[in-house]
Amino acid sequence: MWRFSGRFLSTGAVVFGRGDYKFVAGEIAEETIWLLGFEGLKTFETLRAFRPAKTSKSFQSGGYFVMRDGWDSTDNYLLIDGGNMGALSGGHSHADALSIDLAAGGRTILVDPGTYTYHESVEMRDYFRSTSAHNTLCINQQSSSEPGGKFSWQTMAQAKVDSWISQDRFDFFEGSHDGYNRLEMPATHTRSILFLKNDYWIMRDYVETKGENEYGLNFHFNVETNPEIEGGENGSFCINEMPADEVGIKLATFGDNGGWQRKESWVSPCYGKKVNAPFLRFVSKGIGSQEFFTFMMPTDQGFNAPEVFETQVFGGRAFVIKYRDYNDLFVFADGNGQPVRTEFFDTNFRFLWARLSEGENLPEEFVMVDGTNFTLSGRESRQLSEPFEICHRPPIGNKTQRPHQRKRVQRFSAAEKSHTYILKNSLQS
């Protein structure tokens, strides 16, 4: 993430006078000196560097969405491709609808394959622009867009962004594409990603179809990583990439009748060069609509490895995530309007995440997206006339600092002229 972008941002900092570009580039690149000479070097040295104003950002026209929790070299980052193919024939486009790239702790982990070649090999040209070569879902080992000539396509998937929310605590993206509607039994792929900043990502892939298909969730790793398939205590398997002295990542995917496979693949760090790189794929077969949940969790030294397991609830799906010193709960409501019932709360929010510290009986933090109803421990209730997008309750802090003569309650409040709703803590006499 940092190594490759710095070369371009170094030159961009000089050309556009951008101190934020210089901040990310860190130092001047050799290419900048070749292109802009000694004057470019002087301009770069005198330019004042400053941290970019935003972390997460949507680029609606290009179809790219960036999730980021900071600008230090040890922060987390995810890029989502939610856009359509390129202009006209889409000659330089890839069949990468809803694909992701990811860095954890500043380490580039999940990568785009690159281009490699235009003319050397038709087979390699088509592979590097195929869906299988990207970090997204493929159906029946087919691409979401079908290649034609070297710079054309027989069919081109149309993507649609349904939701983009960016807040201090979390980001949320949801989008879909119609690339597999050409199948005998049409299929629509929807991908949703919830990013809990400074923590981890939760990704849901949903395929609406009536057909019987094989599904592959692709994860292409950086050549410098060493991911392994490992078994869990509950008989499930996950992917662990855990270096000795750096931040790694753990991937846990939940899908019916599915399992992990390790395959051979390539990435192209520059045009004309390809190198072997780890490629892990979660493969599943099913009839009718299918659903997959993937938890992408950075692993830190000094903490136990994260654990995820599914627990049964009425009206949806629920997962317990043991992460660092917390016990988190993620709940997905199936969208039929009926509440999901858990030990702590009832809700019809499609996406709800809650955090409990060790020894606590009730969640201390919530993030909720897309719903109307929430009941906490049978006491706190809120019902809205129409769905709203966001609800975030900040941590309550150190309980020993609370005034003893006051009672803590929660209430919903809406930010004026926005669709942002916060479940606030207030102290009442």
Closest by CA to 6, choosing from 79, 106, 125, is 106
Under the banding of pLDDT at 50, 70 and 90, the label for residue 427 is very low
Pick the residue with more confidence: 176 or 2? 176
259 vs 236: CA distance, rounded Å: 9
Given a cut of 50, whether residue 409 has pLDDT beyond it is no
Closest by CA to 353, choosing from 222, 183, 148, 192, is 192
- The tokens describing 405, both together, are 């003569």
If you average pLDDT over residues 38-55, what whole number do you get?
95
Percentage of the chain modeled with pLDDT above 90: 55
Under the banding of pLDDT at 50, 70 and 90, the label for residue 233 is low
pLDDT tens for 141-189 read 998 888 887 877 788 889 999 999 999 999 999 999 998 999 999 999 9
Collapsed DSSP state (helix, strand, coil) of residue 141: coil
113 vs 279: CA distance, rounded Å: 11
Where would I find the H helices in 64-197? 122-128
Phi, psi of 46, rounded to the nearest 5 degrees: -90, -10
The structural architecture, per CATH, of the domain 54-301 is Distorted Sandwich (2.70)
Collapsed DSSP state (helix, strand, coil) of residue 24: helix
Given a cut of 50, whether residue 269 has pLDDT beyond it is yes
> pTM for the whole thing?
0.87
Given a cut of 70, whether residue 420 has pLDDT beyond it is no
Radius of gyration of the chain (CA): 23
Residue pointed to by tokens 């949703």: 192
Closest by CA to 329, choosing from 352, 307, 350, 313, is 352
96 vs 129: CA distance, rounded Å: 8
**Domain definitions of the chain by residue range:** 2-46, 54-301, 312-429
Average pLDDT, the chain: 84
Going by the DSSP 8-state scheme, the letter that residue 34 receives in this structure is: H
